[in-house]
Amino acid sequence: MALEMNARPGTYALILPADRQRTVRVGRLGRLTVEPGCYVYVGSALGPGGVRARVGHHSRLATRPHWHIDYLRRAATLRDVWYSYDSVRREHAWADIFARMPGASIPLPGFGASDCTCPAHLYFFSRQPRLDSFRRRLRVALPNHGRVDRVSAKGIARLV
């Protein structure tokens, strides 16, 4: 339930389908050719406002882009957010799990990963990955990980 989303810190994945090809500039990182398919972006929100404030930010189009994802948001639709209030910073583990899911590719190396050693925090799939498959992989990799929930774009709209 969307209304359960609150200001606690946590980790999230944005599910971002794109319906046509276009090119977007991603700050100083370079250009990204957006292809029809599904982009998955992983981040964490451990500061004030937690997951709720961050998802609220991602639900709108930034007038002055700050993060790499702000540029991609203009060329893709936010369909779903998968999130967890696990208090440990899990974004790099989540990125690694998405990287190993069938059909994953890295559309632009370094995207969202300026401050870590992950190849990227953005993955591309021709078809949207399944939440149950992600949860299963997460349980195997990190048996003590907290619960992962999902909120749809409609639910997010009610939050902000």
Residue pair 99/82 in contact (Cβ under 8 Å)? The answer is: no
Query: Taking the complex as a whole, how short is the minimal distance between the CB of residue 90 and Zn ion, in angstroms?
Result: 10
Interface with Zn ion includes 61 (CB under 5 A)? no
Residue 111 CB, shortest distance to Zn ion, in Å, is 11
Residues recorded for the chain: 160
Tell the smallest beta-carbon distance from residue 89 to Zn ion (Å): 9
Alpha carbon of residue 115 to chain centroid: 16
Q: How far apart are the first and last CA of the chain?
A: 15
Instruction: Check residue 116 for interaction with Zn ion (CB under 5 A).
Output: yes
Amino acid identity, residue 37? Answer: G
Backbone angles phi, psi at 25, to 5 degrees: -85, 135
Alpha-carbon gap, residue 110 to 112, rounded angstroms: 6
Closer residue to Zn ion, CB minimum distance, 85 or 94: 94
**Listed ranges 49-57, 63-71, 87-95, 135-143: which one lies at the site for Zn ion (CB under 5 A):** 87-95
Contact pick of 72, 118, 120, 148 for Zn ion (by CB under 5 A):
118
Among 89, 92, 135, 145, binds Zn ion (CB under 5 A): 92
Question: Least distance (Å) from Zn ion to the CB of residue 27?
Answer: 17
CB-count exposure of residue 62 (10 Å: 0-12, 13-18, 19+): middle
Two structure tokens written together for 40: 């998955």
Span of 14-22, 65-73, 76-84, 117-125 interacting with Zn ion by CB under 5 A? 117-125
Tell me the closest approach of the beta carbon of residue 92 to Zn ion, in angstroms: 4
Q: Does 89 bind Zn ion (CB under 5 A)?
A: no
